[in-house]
Amino acid sequence: MSAKQLEQAAQATKTAFLFPGQGSQKVGMLAELAEQFAVVTETFTEASEAVGFDLWHIAQSGEGLNQTENTQPVLLTASIAMWRVWLNLGGIAPKYLAGHSLGEYSALVAGNAISLADAVKLVHLRGQLMQSAVPQGQGAMAAILGLDDAKVIELCEQVNIQGRGSVEAANYNAQGQVVIAGDKTLVDAVMESTKENGGKAIALPVSVPSHCSLMKPAAEQFAQALEQTAIELPSIPVIQNVNAAIATDVATLRQALTAQLYQSVQWTKTMQYLQDQGIQYMVECGPGNVLANLAKRLPNIEKAFPIDTQSRMEDALNAILVAEGKIA
């Protein structure tokens, strides 16, 4: 489907597509879909040729899958493979696209703003820069559950005063669910304070503290690569992470992608924006169902679908075609 056809088809729907970020990867992802749809392996071959190594092998074997520089291009490619399967099967074009962290790049590829080849090269570099920005073991991330946003910010500020680095809110994922990132000692301190204040804290198994000021050196280098990459405004609007808004020009889009490395992911506001625009159905286009599960908690969302297996894909295709009035 051409960019113009996608744009026209998307305008009348009440569906949004969500693309997951790092953490959704799993060994063997998309194996079942690849058996049924040749476009899956074709998409992985296209992306592998762009970055110069075998992304499908990493996805299926798990070798190096959790190294950030590999995780990011593999996940992006998996999401775009699923997007292509969806379109090939006659799935409707969504009205909006949004991606969580790394998933923003998947959304931009789906919206024809960046080519798949350019995007996988960008996120491979993004992963390398993020990995090298903070020495192994010095950074950390943790999920804080059961406290409101203001309280999480307050707990971070209390330990930051001690002058031992910084810890910040990195992902506003949902009401009562905020991920923090920063220097490991300070993340640990906020986790302890969280428990003292009646919340729950879960350390995340990541090697890089994303979306915090520790990533500013990486962002400065990454901005240069972004400037050299061909980018257009997407044919389907993409809601960007740092401001939960749609860029009206390419310069603003690039700036938001750079800032995304060291600023918070505004996922709660992104979901509110989609609800305010009348979105009723959401499809998670990537491995797993993390974003679909978050979307199911929203008051105005009637259905949220993961599509990472053939049965899930078919269920979502049929349900949304019926809901959108495309078939009886």
- For residue 149, the number of C-alpha atoms closer than 13 Å in the C-beta half-sphere is 13
Helices 38-51 and 116-133 cross at an angle (nearest 10°) of: 60
Distance from C-alpha of 25 to C-alpha of 57, rounded to nearest angstrom: 13
Distance from C-alpha of 326 to C-alpha of 172, rounded to nearest angstrom: 35
294, 79, 63, 127: CA torsion to nearest 10: -80
DSSP 21: -
Active site residue 211: yes
Across-strand partners of 303? 281
Out of 48, 100, 210, 211, pick the active-site residue: 211
Active site residue 57: no
**Token code pair at residue 305:** 């679908």
DSSP 312: H
Helix or strand (DSSP H, E) at 125:
helix 116-133
Distance from C-alpha of 13 to C-alpha of 58, rounded to nearest angstrom: 36
Out of 24, 48, 101, 264, pick the active-site residue: 101
DSSP 24: -
Residue pair 180/156 in contact by the 8 Å Cβ criterion: yes
Residue 222 amino acid letter? F
Q: In what order do the strands lie in the sheet with 15-19?
A: 238-239, 96-99, 15-19, 281-284, 303-306
Q: Which residues are designated catalytic?
A: 101, 211
